[in-house]
Structure formats: C-alpha cells, structure tokens
Amino acid sequence: MIICQFANIVNSMYYLYMNRSELHKRLADEPAYREKQILESIYSGRAKNWDEITSIPSALREKLRDLPFFCFEPVNRVVSTDGTIKSLFKMSDGALIETVLIPNKEFRTVCVSSQVGCAMACGFCATGTLGLTRNLTADEIADQVLYYKQTAKVTNVVYMGMGEPLLNLENVLPSVDILNDLMGIGARKISISTCGIIPGIRKLMDYPKQINLAISIHSPDDALRSKLMPVNKGFPLAKLLETCAEYIKKTNRRLMFEYVMLSGINDSDEQAHEIARLLRPLELVLLNLIPFHQTFLQFGSASRNRIHDFQRIVELEGVDCHIRHSAGVDVDAACGQLARTHYDKETRVT
C-alpha cells in the first residue's frame, strides 16, 4: 500500500472546488454561450486552471480567477498495491465522501458516491453503518469523475460508491447528463446500482439514455434477503422481479444482478439453483458474483472454489454468470468497504 501526499498540487485551482451557481451569477452580463464554453473546457479535462481556458477573453479569465474548479476539497487519498486509488473528499459543508478509480489494461473506471453515507443498512456493507447524512448534488457527483479525468482517461463510471442512487435520482440523472453530454463518456459505459428501489427502477424505464442498471439481490428467498437487506421488507423479491421484467420489456436492455458470496449463508448449491431459476425467466440478465470483502462486519467470504462451483451451477441452469474481479481490497476500496477508513492522518492534505 502506498499513501499518496499531493499537497504540492493543492495550491493550484486544479484541486479546489467550483461553485456552479456562483459561476452563473458572474456570467450574468456575458453572452449566453460563455458558460457553455467554460464548462466544456472544464469537463473535457483540457483546462486545469483559468489561464488554460483560452476560448474566453483574458479579462473574463481574470474576473473568474478566484472561483475554484471543484465542488469539494480533496483531503486524502490512498493507493492499493493493484493501482486502485481511493480518494477522500470534503464537501463545502464538511461532509466526507469516498470515490475510487479502478484501473486495468483496458478500462479506467470511476466508482462514484451519490449520497453522504447510506440509509439502506445492508448487513454486509460497511457504508450502511454510517447512516445517511444527505444527498449529493449533480455537480458533486460529476466532479468526482472530473477529478480523476484530469490525470487519467476515464472510460467507465459506476454509481456503486456510498449511497443508494435511486433515492437521489433528482441529482443522479442530471449528473449522468453531465458525464455523457459534457465529459463524453458513453451512456453504455455508465452503470447505476440499486438495492432494489422499485419506484426508481420504474423512473429509469423512461430515461432515454442507454445506461446500465444493476440490482443487488444477494439471496433467492425473501426471508434471508430481508435479514441481509432491510429494503426487501418494502420491496420483496416477487414485486422486484416483476418490475425487472417490465424494465427489460420496455428498454430491451440487459439487467445485471449482484450477489455477494457470504460463506455458509447464501453460497450453497441449492441457493445457486434457486437464484438461477429465479432469474432465468427474465432472459436478458447477467449475475455477477462478488466475493465478500473483509471489513469490521462479522461475515466471511465464500472460498474461491465455492464461488466457481456456484458459478458453474448457475450457468448450467442457463443464466449468464460472471465472477466480479476485486480491486482495492487492501485499502478498503472494494465493494462494501467504503466507510472512510484506511487513511494515514499524517498524510492528510490541508
């Protein structure tokens, strides 16, 4: 593990935060296209400070010089042995969130947070222990991607960080528009994950962009799922799967289902057959098996062999099934680990 200090860059506008409403006010006397010019320069990643936005007059650059670029202040980051980067951001009200960059040979994926904390209280997720503080704004979400876009070619974005995205669609969908329309990230490279908020899934049926949707399912039966995921009490499996069928029929898009592999709890052969038979009628589905990533929570992950056996059974039942690659586990950056941990206070950026 490498703890990264980057205070030498913090003094530039590059690592500060931008107030969009303030920008709009300052451009009140300018031609309407100026704001678009500025935002396109920023969101493209071409400009790291006002002097680099050469499409606007120098006098306007000077007028905007004291206005920072981002909606938050980066206060720390940590780098995994596999190259995954987890960053800690402080919002203007002091709230803290985490965002992760997952690099590999083909892709550079940013995992963004949509809320400060989370109210869903899933038993296997460290983020759920934080409770919910507030929703993030569209700019606060989009700027998480912009932050990494300044130094890396971001290819994919997943809304799988802190929070339940479908409980903040009024900000999540505008942030998707920013990523797609201004940052140039293809809609099919953007994935939103949910624990199964049915009203939100219904809203996404009418959303025109071809984004991906992932449903956290984690159990083939209501009794166990309700223990692991309290949301199941309000949105049980039968209603959830009925809604998923409607989603597929209306959008003609494949749904992803997420299944964390908990040793001795949901990883039996019988449960593999059950989850496959539950999902098979939907046809356009993919089941992702996710090893449980160790935290302070009292669960253990199914063994690698057990996960592979589970995958084999699901596929023999006729359902596509992949094993999700884990990234950033050693710095608490993997799925279910985001709880503002694993930072060295001495390297905190101020």
Radius of gyration, CA atoms only, the chain:
21
CA atoms 104, 107, 110, 111: torsion sign: negative
Tokens of residue 78, six digits? 């940590």
Q: Which of 73, 98, 164, 258 is catalytic?
A: 98
* C-alpha span between 35 and 16 (Å, rounded): 19
Tokens of residue 160, six digits? 């799988």
Residue 289 carries which side chain, given as an amino acid letter? L
Residue 349 carries which side chain, given as an amino acid letter? V
Residue 321 carries which side chain, given as an amino acid letter? C
| Residue 118: active-site member | no
- The SS3 of residue 44 is coil
| Residue 335: active-site member | yes
Tokens of residue 263, six digits? 């040793």
User: Measured at the alpha carbon of residue 314, what is the angle toward residues 257 and 122, in degrees to the nearest 5?
Assistant: 35
Which residues participate in catalysis according to the annotation?
A: 98, 335
